[in-house]
Amino acid sequence: MPQITWNTTFSLKNLELDEQHKRLVAIINNLHDTITQGQGLQSIREVFSALVITIKSHFISEEQLMRQYAFPGLAHHKQEHDNLIEQIDITSKRVAAGNNELTRDVQQYVASWWLSHIENDYREFGPFLKNKGLKQF
């Protein structure tokens, strides 16, 4: 899968969430580069670790915002998050054990998941936040 290029269709019109999403895209792309350029297992581990930390932190922040504003799609959204975290946790253990062959598959999976998630699951959340009066930009 090629790198993800951020574009305005991904925007939720919420500065905090958009910045978090841009950071996730940057790390996904960095993982892609690290793998395709053959930078070695240690570099792959470092970037993958940064991706895991960033994803988990983002999900906590996002779910908190959804709870705060009583977003009706929270349960579905959280299940999507939990599914990705489960997949990433399994892969993290394999990468830590030295199996970097799975990392390319996971990078592609995460990139595909993110694109699907942002294009489908967020279509309701951005307008929902706007209707709740959350500051837009």
- Give dist(CA 36, CA 43) in Å, integer: 12
Q: Which residues contact 99 (CB under 8 A, 6 or more apart)?
A: none
pLDDT of 20 above 80: yes
Q: Is residue 127 part of a domain?
A: yes
Domain ranges, residue 60? 13-131
- Give dist(CA 81, CA 102) in Å, integer: 20
pLDDT of 72 above 90: yes
Q: How confident is the model at residue 101 (pLDDT cuts 50, 70, 90)?
A: low
99 vs 25: which has the higher pLDDT? 25
Q: Is residue 79 part of a domain?
A: yes
User: What pLDDT shows up at residue 93?
Assistant: 82
CATH number of the domain residue 57 falls in? 1.20.120.50
31 vs 107: which has the higher pLDDT? 31
> Which residue blocks in the chain are alpha helix, DSSP H?
15-36, 41-68, 74-96, 101-116, 125-131
Q: Is residue 104 part of a domain?
A: yes
Query: How much is the average pLDDT of 108-128?
Result: 81
Q: Is residue 5 part of a domain?
A: no
User: What pLDDT shows up at residue 8?
Assistant: 86
- Give dist(CA 52, CA 137) in Å, integer: 28
